[in-house]
Structure 1
């Protein structure tokens, strides 16, 4: 039997707080979603005046990152990105309409090599979404460091 790590509400809130602070620092209005390993929302925040479409997009990015265990932008940007025309996963975003995102802003939450959830960020350009998403991962990493739990904090996560 396998024992699994689980992301808590408190940890999700800590991640959102750090992500929101980064968004404020770089002057961008974001929506941040933290989902569990099944892609279900644990915590969500849409900053005041952020786009009304942000929650659905952020949730989709978190769902995709958690479910496919990879940062969403890697579907289209890594060499031979699997969702690019002519590649094996071209059109994958149409399989689960509205829930599957293949563009920047979704990051799996990987703790000690295990995907425990996802971060979805929507509202900025790609560079801004990456900065906000990695701030959330870095906050979790700092929080878990005293427990000897390692969190991947880079943008290009592929498990």
Structure 2
């Protein structure tokens, strides 16, 4: 039987705070979501000025990254590259900004960010996802 790490409130809060710091440093009004490896919500923060829809999109980006075990941008790239069959996948947000959280080589959750340009969402999510590594 295998074992793996799981995210607790402590780690979810640390991830959320790392994302918040990066977003605020850049003056980006975003929503940040942290989910476990099954895509279930652990934490959500909508910064002042972020549109309400961000509170829907960010968790879905995180869920997509957690369940797919890859950045949500990869699905967007596949669809834009002509693999339209992925439009029927049971994933709601195949948009850039969802990043898996990897600990000891295993996906333990994901971060989703929504509210600014796709590469900016992804920048915040990547920093947050890597905040547990060091």
TM-score, length of structure 2 as denominator length: 0.92
Distance 2:17 2:116 in 1: 17
Write out per-residue CA displacement over residues 29-72 of structure 1, whole angstroms, 9 at most, x where no aligned residue. 01000000110011110011211011110010010000001100
Q: TM-score, normalised by structure 1?
A: 0.78
Give, in whole Å, the separation in 1 of the partners of 2:51 and 2:109. Answer: 24
Instruction: Give the distance between the partners of 1:39 and 1:133, measured in 2 at CA.
Output: 15
CA RMSD of aligned residues (A): 1.6
The unaligned stretches of length 5 or more in structure 1 are 143-159
Q: Write out aligned runs for 1:7-156 (5 A).
A: 7-77=7-77, 81=78, 83-84=79-80, 86-87=82-83, 89-92=85-88, 95-96=89-90, 100-142=92-134
C-alpha distance 123-88 of structure 1, shift in aligned 2 (>3 A): closer
1:84 touches 1:90 (CA, 8 Å); kept in 2? no
Per-residue deviation, 1:101: 1.2
Q: Could you tell me how far 1:88 is from its partner in structure 2? A: 6.5
Q: How many residues align?
A: 134
- 8 Å CA contact retained: 2:72, 2:98: yes
